[in-house]
């Protein structure tokens, strides 16, 4: 389950405003600010809310890198690049060489295998940070 249970934020209007606020998160600092605000107002957020906050940051990172999509297929994740991505080709080569479970295919997909026990969002975050040159 991703999002808010009605017993965490009972008001539908307030839930919708909170979703909108989360969708505007662009970095970890904003994520922490929103999480603190949620905790102050409603108590400790459930893990589904923490997941939603993390995915908001990943979405923002992906948009800055001009990544068209990130899709999960079983234990594999496909990251598709927009033709005008600003990613330095050297950074891309470095990411592909960094782990045996990362491959680049001719259709502009970066395939990575998430190993057992590895958290999906953390694995994707590490690759995105490496692609932008801060990993």
Domain layout of the chain by residue ranges: 12-62, 66-131
pLDDT at 135: 43
Confidence of residue 92 (pLDDT cuts 50, 70, 90): very high
Q: Calculate the average pLDDT of the chain.
A: 91
pLDDT at 1: 42
Q: Is 0.75 surpassed by the pTM of this model?
A: yes
Distance CA 59, CA 74 (A): 20
Please report the beta strands in 1-135, taking only residues with DSSP state E, as ranges in sequence order: 67-73, 76-81, 102-105, 109-113
* Residue 4 predicted with pLDDT over 80: no
If you average pLDDT over residues 74-95, what whole number do you get? 93
């Amino acid at each position: 389950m991703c999002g808010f249970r009605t017993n965490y934020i009972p008001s539908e209007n307030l839930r919708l405003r909170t979703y909108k606020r989360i969708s505007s998160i662009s970095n970890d600092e904003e994520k922490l600010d929103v999480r603190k605000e949620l905790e102050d107002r409603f108590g400790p957020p459930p893990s589904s809310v923490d997941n939603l906050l993390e995915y908001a940051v990943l979405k923002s990172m992906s948009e800055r890198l001009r990544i068209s999509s990130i899709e999960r297929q079983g234990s594999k994740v496909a990251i598709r690049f927009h033709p005008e991505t600003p990613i330095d080709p050297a950074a891309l080569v470095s990411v592909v060489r960094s782990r045996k479970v990362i491959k680049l295919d001719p259709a502009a997909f970066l395939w990575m295998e998430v190993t057992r026990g590895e958290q999906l969002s953390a694995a994707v975050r590490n690759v995105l940070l490496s692609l932008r040159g801060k990993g």
